[in-house]
Structure 1
Amino acid sequence: MRIRATVAAASGALALSALVAPAAHAADGGPSYRSELAKVFSQQTSGRSAFSAASDPVGDLDVSFSDFKIAKAIKVGTTAHVSTAVSYKLTHSADVDVTSEDFLTLPVIYRGSSTAPVNDLGPDEPATCAETSATTAVCKARIDIYPSGANSSLLKNSQAGTWHGAAFALDFASEKSSVQFDLATTLVQRNSKLTVNAAPEPVKKGRTITVTGKLSRANWETHKYAGYTNQPVKLQFRKKGSSTYTTLKTIKSDSTGNLRTTTTASADGYYRFAFAGTSTTPAVNAAGDFVDVQ
């Protein structure tokens, strides 16, 4: 099952306008929690007053969230499903039973502001919560990301970068809900690849070695990898028998992401390219290419 939560502004207020699309059915043939959740939230979002801060809880269920923990960065490629763990603390009033079958909570991350998000990502399954006191619980779930296919997360290249965390809670019995935004941030990044080839092999000491390669990253719209252009990349060398790479020079990828430079052969060892990364694209090192110097 896949959740899609959308935050919208209605008459200046923060509102949860929709939660799932399309509706699904549970394995036993009954309606899934997603369709029920969408119906209740739709009922609860009408007539809300404006709220001063997105980090404040919004809703009529006496629940708040804190200590939202998620990976600092999430690498997303072109096709493979990506899942990352999330945990958070849920604080509630004494009349809220987080162990009840009528209670549900889940985390979401969203790109953009809480009043005008451009995309959001949620879990395939709701969170599981363990009570730590009469009014607190620790909840765990996973954010599931599908770059392509029937469950596509509809990622756009422009959406790479900082995403914000939010959490939701719903009591089906009372049809009360609560949502809280800006609980944490994470980077959702276009996965990167880096290759290297040093030639000729073998080579005489003092001769020129030509090192080529390519820096590429995931294109979420074409679902293919494409060159990452005009990016600084380091050429590094590790002498045979050593475990440490030393930077020889820094060059930039060309208009198609290709890399090409030269260096002088001095000793047997490994050459690689190293990319430090950006907010939208993770750091990556090419596997070292060994050159035998004679």
Structure 2
Amino acid sequence: MRIRATVAAVTGALALSALVVPAAQADEAPTFRESAAAAFASAHGTSGKAAFSTSEAADLGITFSNFKIAPAIKVGTTNQVTTTVTYTLTHGGEIDVNAEDFDTGPYIYRGSFDTPDNMLFGVYAATCTDTSATTASCKGDIDVFPAEGELLNAHAGTWKGGAIALNYTTGDYSDQGNLGTTRVQRYSKLTVNASPEPVRKGKTITVTGKLSRANWETGDYRGYTNQDVKLQFRKAGSSTYTTLKTIKSNSTGNLSTTVTASSDGYFRYAFAGTTTTPAVNAKGDFVDVQ
């Protein structure tokens, strides 16, 4: 079973799938952190594990460190994207990280720790290997499902890392944020077309293309407007591209400029990327100069 955490765009309220609200708290709304812990438990618990309740939860006394995650997670419009996280879990000697009633996992969140705009977990709980009587090396995944409405376009940018550990029997858990950072980015595409082909030396070559990126709200790719894009050229027989000029994408992400034909070679557009959108290079388009 998997866990999702998404944001209602209008109200800003967090909606957690498979959320378990203990009966004892029916007249008292759980805190956000309690809700997140309960949702994690509901998603990863099995029939052999006791029902998890945060009604009288205590801190397990677990801390997390050495949180390592990819610097960027590039997310398109349809395919599941998975990135692996490793971290160190430090615990009291009485805790068995391999016990049936124990689970831990990494997550990323956007905004403040206490009231984040969004959270993303993994399909499965992390796996841990004891490295001493009180420490364990853990590895888990963050899974992103853009086709299921987990992300708004405004969520692109810097996210923080966190980790959680819980005991199904006691309902106790530890939850720690601000362990690291990553960028969740809107996957980018870049095209190029140089014409005419072939062309006489000294004549004009028109180079067109388009810079686009994933739109998580519409499920397609839309032009990335007003961005600096480099036109580059690689002479036939060379392995190095040289920048000829820098132009801006227009209101629909389209690109167009002209150059003078000088020698056989490949033209491409190159985009350096931004915080919200990864760098991308178009595949070179060969022009035969006669």
Give the TM interval when normalised to the shorter protein.
0.7 to 0.9
Aligned to 1:231: 227
1:5-53 deviation digits (Å, cap 9, x = unpaired): 5898x99x873324439x6698xxx6497x94xx42x4256xxxxxxxx
Q: What pairs up with 1:190-209 in 2 under 5 angstroms?
A: 190-209=186-205
Please give the alpha-carbon distance, in whole angstroms, between the structure 2 residues aligned to 1:43 and 1:272: 60
Secondary structure of 1:138's aligned partner: strand
Please give the alpha-carbon distance, in whole angstroms, between the structure 2 residues aligned to 1:20 and 1:79: 24
Secondary structure of 1:15's aligned partner: helix
Residue number among 204, 208, 214 corresponding to 1:218 in the alignment: 214
Aligned to 1:51: none
Aligned to 2:245: 249
Please give the alpha-carbon distance, in whole angstroms, between the structure 2 residues aligned to 1:102 and 1:162: 33
Name stretches of at least 5 consecutive residues in structure 2 with no aligned partner. Answer: 7-12, 15-27
Aligned length: 269
1:209-251 deviation digits (Å, cap 9, x = unpaired): 0000000000000000000000000000000000000000000
| Residues 195, 287 of structure 2: 8 Å contact kept | yes
Letter in 2 for 1:2: R
Secondary structure of 1:242's aligned partner: coil
Distance change in 2, residues 1:32/1:235 (3 Å): farther
Aligned to 1:132: 131
Secondary structure of 1:255's aligned partner: coil
Please give the alpha-carbon distance, in whole angstroms, between the structure 2 residues aligned to 1:217 and 1:109: 22
Q: CA deviation at 1:4?
A: 3.2
1:43 aligned onto 2:55: yes
1:82 aligned onto 2:81: yes
1:187-210 deviation digits (Å, cap 9, x = unpaired): 000000000000000000111000
Aligned to 2:63: 64
Q: Percent identity?
A: 62
Aligned to 1:269: 265
Residue number among 269, 280, 287 corresponding to 2:283 in the alignment: 287
| Normalised TM-score (structure 1) | 0.85
| Residues 44, 177 of structure 1: 8 Å contact kept | no
Distance change in 2, residues 1:273/1:224 (3 Å): same
Letter in 2 for 1:188: V
RMSD: 2.5
Distance change in 2, residues 1:248/1:254 (3 Å): same
Aligned to 1:96: 95
Aligned to 1:16: 34
